[in-house]
Amino acid sequence: MKRTIIYPALTLLTLQSCINRNQSGGADKKLKTANDNLVMKNGYSDVNGIKMYYEIYGQGKPLVLLHGGGSTIQTSFGRIIPQLASSRQLICIELQAHGRTSDRNTELSFEQDADDVAVLLKKLNIQKADIFGFSNGGITALQIGIRHPEQCNKIIAGSVLLKRNGALPQFWEFMKNGSFVQMPQQYKDAFIKVTPDSTKLLSMYQKCANRMINFKDIPDTQIKSIKSPVLLINGDADVATPEHIVAMSRLIPDCTLAIIPGGHGEYIGEITTLKPDYKQSDFIVPLIENFLNKTETKYHP
């Protein structure tokens, strides 16, 4: 079943989402006010040798949120958590070495992240959930669909890159020659706020960089094996090209595609793309909710 929602714009791909942007304090104050009104439970769980941090908001059907590389729960999802929590139980997770979750003596991998999330959900007595991952978290969400299909209802994967040829050569050159100095200050501040240890921050950065420098294509056979309905979301000026996302949508058996004007995560208010005068209506929460709530009907050509 293929459904495509394309929102055209004329912006060209840039690397702005990969470098630091200066933002005013107005956006931070809005975020603090919105999240102060939420009831949140949090904790740690022993998962495959690490202590994995999670937060739970709201009530209803479970929706797992998986942040992007170098990020925390709040840097990726802080702007839309209040909206999503109004009708869902959100399980927000920080992955290996990120935020408050501890590290292990291994490099990062999307497969290991998927296995970690699967174990955590079992420990939280969540048998099956919808999964929403952004950027690297979106790749992890798809790996959960590949490796642990019995735990997935629907999958939303935002701004994912599944093949090296899905990004322009400049992106890979940037990753190869990047340095800790170029890591967005918003990510550094968010990490230090919850884990005040600069050594752990530097280690997390290097492991994230290594994972992308050594990035390997996800085989077509694995992508085609995903049984869950999937919503792929991409900005038209994202890291992955629109052509790549369209091609990947054709490999996933049951896939809906949405291409949104803007950069890497702008459609959810990701912290490095956030404008000081943002409004909740700028974000695509209604599109996400429509996908999650829609009763699936089989397509017959």
Look at residue 244 in the predicted model and tell me its pLDDT: 98
- CB-based contacts of 247: which residues, under 8 Å, 6+ apart? 166
pLDDT of amino acid 140: 98
CA distances for 301 relative to 1, 131, 249, 298, angstroms: 9, 29, 18, 10
What does the pLDDT read at residue 191?
98
The pLDDT-based confidence of 30 (bands split at 50, 70, 90) is low
**Largest Cα–Cα distance in the chain?**
57
Question: Could you give the count of Cα atoms lying within 13 Å of 189 in the half-sphere of its Cβ?
Answer: 12
Residue 92's φ and ψ, nearest 5 degrees, are: -100, 125
Amino acid at 85: A
Q: What is the residue extent of each domain of the chain?
A: 2-293
Query: Quick check: 124 pLDDT over 70?
Result: yes
pLDDT at 8 over 70: no
What pLDDT does 295 receive?
Answer: 76
What's the confidence (pLDDT) of residue 17?
38
Q: What is the CATH number of domain 2-293?
A: 3.40.50.1820
- Structural tokens at position 245: 């996302």
Calpha distance 225→121 (Å, rounded): 22
Burial class of residue 229 in the structure, from the number of CB atoms within 10 Å of its CB (0-12 exposed, 13-18 middle, 19+ buried)? buried
- Residue 76 tokens read as 């990726």
